[in-house]
């Protein structure tokens, strides 16, 4: 490819970027919205100020017992990662709040909690149980069951600590019993920040939303006659498409850089371990996304068709691929289907590098598939697009 | 005034060009040549096939049959570099300034650096947009956009300029700019293909004209030769009834007048046609006639014509001499007006 060919491609790209710079609403949608949404989602799911891992589950607690055991139970819950939110008005008020969907779950510490606890530990109540009623939002059972498990563990620790304090001999005997060890195997990537968790999906989704712009601008040129005028010039059709792709690619790169910047600054995104890998993944993702945009332009005859089709298609791919919903929540067949989307491969690559701390070499297959998607999309667009 | 040129060698030769769109034949076996240095006009009503012909000449549309040869220039990028195309519909970037539009398209043709900037300035001056060079074209009037549209087609100094209806929807000032620009470019040696459905434009600008209708080229020659095929100027005389009270006598008198008209020398065609009924001075309705005479020597024919009418006893209401034009040629060839 000689210098003149590259200069012609660059001319087309530079012109598109110049036009976009003068289109304020397009700038807001390309850069502003992704930044705002990333910030909002990231902040909703973690404390960006503390720089610690994701915040605890907020659980409504109706404390009807003023005793010391209730205080200790709350302390154990906090240690376990639950953020107890006090509710006034007792169990009834708590149930209303849960029913209204204000919280996923709630705990009631009844008036006799401390009394029952002490009686049970001392053996005065026989086999009498200690109760801490749990209220779950039926609309959010998955989170509620997680909270219940964590709370149960916290209560176990509260009971164990008191048993050890009051019956040290028995406790020592218990501690010396044979054990089945379950040693932790350290996996790289533990202690993920909100940025590590959310940014990969956002970067992929927002970059692929550029496809909409690629398709619209190509169709717009055809409708306004400027595409025909370019065809009259001594340049090839592939150069025209490459120029359009490069223009949006530049925007995609700026968008990704901004998201990474926001991620590092506000959501403690970890990129230091694989900056080159992330950069290469970003380029491959942008190439694939813009190629998809070119291909989409071949399926619509009017701007309305293109806008409607790309919006719905990108949303569908966002859900299927796991960029909008974690793939662990998808049914098995959908997880398999997700691998036909470039989004899924891009997400794999980013997740491997950012969350699992893989090397660039090990994520190269993902990047290769992304590049292949881009080439296929570009080739199909070149063959299918009606330039006239 | 048509520019003085003496074109001889063919720059473009079009042979048997045809284009079918499904069952529609948009261009049907068109053949003509455009000579070096001339302004060649393609005249025809909307839908005649002019734009389709230009698209095939420029190479953006593949002909169903036929060939387009350009002297010494093979098909492909070299041909495209030799052609400048000004499309009928505006093809400019509204968010870019006039200068940016010109520099962008110039860049596609390989211009760069100082040469690119200089050429843009030259053309902005030529089309009268120097003062608005750095204004975005979205703020331009329709005529200014048209002028920019023209300038873009000239950025790379083409050998042949294809102008497709460049004055549609243009204000008089912009039309004048475009006209003067085309004349100046042609006087500097640029060959031009000019399509229009305005016969006045084609008559004023073109050395030779091809007339198209329903995809076919129905005539091709110089404006003078085409008009000459009609047999000269047309004299129209409106006369009153010869014998208002007696229909039979009126018939006889008209036949006698027709015989006198046919005997006039230098008169290739003479006929008497009924005119619109009108009211005379007394308020009663009368049926006048139009005497239409075609002649190549109007100065000699007029006195004889007036004498013949007078001798027939008919009152002469009006007399007009009209030089024939391309509109008449089109009417003669197709039986309909260009603006039908």
Distance from the Cα of residue B336 to its chain's centroid: 15
Q: How is chain A split among helix, strand and coil, in percent rounded to 5?
A: 70, 5, 25
Residue-wise pLDDT for A260-289, tens only, equals 998 888 888 888 888 999 999 999 999 999
Q: Is A228's Cβ below 8 Å from some Cβ in B? A: yes
Q: Give B55-78 as a 3 state SS string.
A: HHHHCCCCCCEEEEEECCECCCHH
Residue B334 pLDDT more than 60? yes
Could you tell me if A18 lies within 8 Å of chain B, comparing CB atoms? yes
Closest chain B residue to A18 measured between Cα atoms? Answer: B96
Q: How far apart are CA A111 and CA A132, in angstroms?
A: 10
Mean pLDDT of the residues in chain A: 85
Split at pLDDT 50, 70, 90, the class of A234 is very high
Of the candidates B101, B111, B110, B86, the one whose C-alpha atom is nearest the C-alpha of residue B182 is B86
User: pLDDT grade, residue A4 (50/70/90)?
Assistant: confident
Contact at CB, B112 and A7, closer than 8 angstroms: yes
Question: How many percent of chain B have pLDDT more than 70?
Answer: 96
- At B104 the pLDDT is 96
3-class DSSP state for residue B136? strand
**Does B77 lie at the interface with A, CB-CB under 8 angstroms?**
yes
- Does residue A152 register a pLDDT over 50? yes
Q: What is the mean pLDDT of residues B84-103?
A: 94
Identify which of A18, A229, A235 has the shortest CB distance to residue B96: A18
* pTM greater than the 0.80 cutoff: no
Q: Are A180 and A225 in contact (CB under 8 A)?
A: no
ipTM: 0.75
The band of A320, judged by pLDDT with boundaries at 50, 70 and 90, is confident
Q: Please say if the pLDDT value at position A388 is more than 50.
A: yes
Vertex A216: Cα angle to A211 and A221 (nearest 5): 130
pLDDT level of residue A177 (50, 70, 90 thresholds)? low
**CA A257, CA A261: separation in Å to the nearest integer?**
6
What are the structure tokens assigned to B72, written together?
């010494």
Confidence of residue B5 (pLDDT cuts 50, 70, 90): very low
Backbone angles phi, psi at B167, to 5 degrees: -110, 10
- pLDDT for res A184: 55
Rounded distance, CA A332 to CA A337, Å? 9
In order, the DSSP letters of B244-278 are TT-HHHHHHHHHHHHHHHHTSTTEEEEEEEEPPPE
In CATH terms, the fold of domain A57-174 is abc type-2 transporter like fold (3.40.1710)
Predicted pLDDT of residue A52: 42
Q: What is the pLDDT of residue B247?
A: 81
pLDDT value at A54 more than 80:
no
pLDDT at position B56 is 92
- Contact in structure between A216 and A307 (CB atoms under 8 Å): yes
Provide the angle, in degrees to the nearest 10, between the axes of the packed helices B142-154 and B98-108.
30
Instruction: Give the tens place of pLDDT for each residue, B291-329.
Output: 989 888 888 889 999 999 988 888 899 999 888 888 888
pLDDT digits (tens, 9 = 90+) for A117-130: 888 888 776 656 78
Interface touch A230/B108, C-beta < 8 Å = yes
Q: How far is A22 from chain B (nearest CA, A)?
A: 7
State the virtual CA torsion across A85, A89, A93, A97 in degrees, nearest 10. Answer: -30
Q: How far is B96 from chain A (nearest CA, A)?
A: 7
The DSSP element (H or E) to which A25 belongs, if any, is helix A24-27
Least confident of A57-61, B155-159, B215-219: A57-61
**More confident of the two residues A276 and A25:** A276
Cα–Cα distance measured from residue B19 to residue B1, given in angstroms and rounded to the nearest whole number: 35
Residue B81 touches chain A, beta carbons under 8 Å = yes
Q: Which domains does chain B have, with CATH numbers?
A: 10-228 (3.40.50.300), 233-323 (3.30.70.100)
């Amino acid at each position: 490819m000689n210098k003149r060919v590259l200069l012609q491609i660059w001319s087309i790209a530079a012109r598109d970027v110049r036009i976009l710079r003068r289109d304020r609403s397009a700038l807001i949608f390309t850069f502003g919205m992704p930044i705002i949404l990333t910030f909002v989602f990231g902040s909703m799911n973690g404390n960006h100020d503390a720089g610690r891992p994701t915040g605890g589950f907020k659980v409504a607690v109706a404390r009807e017992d003023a005793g010391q055991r209730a205080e200790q139970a709350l302390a154990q819950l906090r240690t376990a990662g639950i953020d107890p939110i006090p509710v006034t008005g007792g169990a009834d008020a708590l149930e209303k709040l849960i029913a209204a969907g204000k919280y996923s779950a709630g705990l009631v510490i009844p008036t006799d909690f401390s009394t029952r606890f002490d009686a049970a530990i001392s053996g005065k109540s026989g086999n009498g149980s200690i109760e801490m009623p749990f209220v779950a939002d039926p609309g959010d059972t998955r989170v509620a069951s997680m909270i219940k498990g964590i709370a149960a563990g916290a209560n176990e620790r509260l009971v164990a600590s008191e048993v050890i304090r009051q019956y040290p001999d028995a406790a020592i005997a218990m501690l010396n019993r044979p054990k089945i060890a379950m040693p932790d195997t350290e996996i790289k990537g533990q202690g993920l920040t909100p940025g590590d968790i959310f940014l990969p999906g956002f970067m992929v989704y927002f970059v692929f939303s550029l496809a909409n712009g690629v398709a619209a601008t190509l169709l717009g040129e055809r409708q306004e006659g400027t595409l025909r005028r370019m065809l009259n010039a001594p340049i090839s059709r592939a150069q025209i498409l490459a120029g359009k792709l490069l223009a949006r690619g530049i925007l995609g790169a700026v968008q990704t850089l901004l998201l990474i910047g926001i991620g590092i600054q506000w959501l403690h995104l970890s990129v230091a371990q694989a900056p080159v890998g992330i950069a290469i993944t970003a380029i491959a993702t942008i190439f694939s996304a813009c190629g998809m945009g070119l291909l989409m332009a071949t399926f619509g005859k009017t701007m309305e068709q293109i806008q409607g089709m790309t919006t719905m298609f990108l949303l569908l791919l966002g859900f299927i691929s796991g960029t909008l919903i974690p793939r662990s929540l998808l049914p098995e067949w959908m997880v398999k289907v997700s691998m036909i989307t470039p989004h899924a491969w891009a997400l794999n690559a980013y997740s491997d590098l950012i969350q699992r701390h893989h090397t660039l070499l090990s994520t190269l297959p993902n990047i290769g598939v992304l590049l292949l998607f881009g080439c296929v999309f570009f080739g199909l667009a070149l063959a299918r697009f009606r330039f006239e | 005034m048509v520019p003085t040129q003496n074109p001889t060698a063919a720059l473009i030769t079009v042979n048997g060009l045809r284009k079918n769109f499904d069952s529609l034949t948009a261009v049907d076996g068109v053949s003509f040549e455009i000579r070096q240095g001339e302004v060649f006009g393609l005249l025809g009503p909307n839908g005649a096939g002019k734009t389709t012909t230009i698209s095939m000449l420029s190479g953006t549309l593949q002909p169903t049959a036929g060939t387009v040869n350009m002297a010494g220039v093979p098909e492909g990028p070299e041909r495209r570099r030799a052609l400048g195309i000004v499309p009928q519909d505006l093809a400019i970037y509204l968010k870019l300034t006039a200068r940016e539009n010109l520099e962008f398209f110039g860049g596609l043709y390989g211009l760069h650096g100082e040469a690119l900037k200089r050429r843009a300035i030259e053309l902005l001056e030529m089309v009268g947009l120097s003062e608005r060079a750095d204004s975005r074209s979205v703020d331009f009037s329709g005529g200014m956009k048209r002028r920019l549209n023209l300038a873009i087609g000239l950025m790379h100094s083409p050998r042949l300029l294809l102008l497709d209806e460049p004055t549609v929807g243009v204000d008089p000032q912009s039309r004048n700019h475009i006209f003067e620009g085309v004349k100046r470019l042609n006087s500097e040696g640029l060959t031009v293909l000019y399509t229009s459905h305005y016969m006045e434009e084609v008559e004023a600008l073109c050395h030779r004209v091809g007339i198209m209708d329903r995809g076919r080229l129905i005539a091709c020659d110089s404006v003078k030769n085409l008009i000459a095929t009609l047999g000269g100027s047309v004299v129209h005389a409106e006369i009153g009834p010869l014998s208002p009270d007696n229909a039979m006598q009126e018939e006889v008198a008209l036949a006698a007048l027709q015989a006198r008209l046919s005997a006039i020398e230098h008169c290739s065609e003479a006929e008497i046609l009924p005119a619109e009924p009108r009211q005379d001075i007394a308020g009663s309705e009368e049926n006048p006639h139009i005497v239409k005479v075609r002649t190549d020597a109007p100065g000699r024919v007029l006195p004889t014509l007036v004498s013949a009418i007078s001798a027939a006893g008919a009152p002469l209401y009006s007399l007009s001499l009209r030089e024939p034009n391309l509109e008449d040629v089109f009417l003669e060839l197709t039986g309909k007006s260009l603006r039908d």
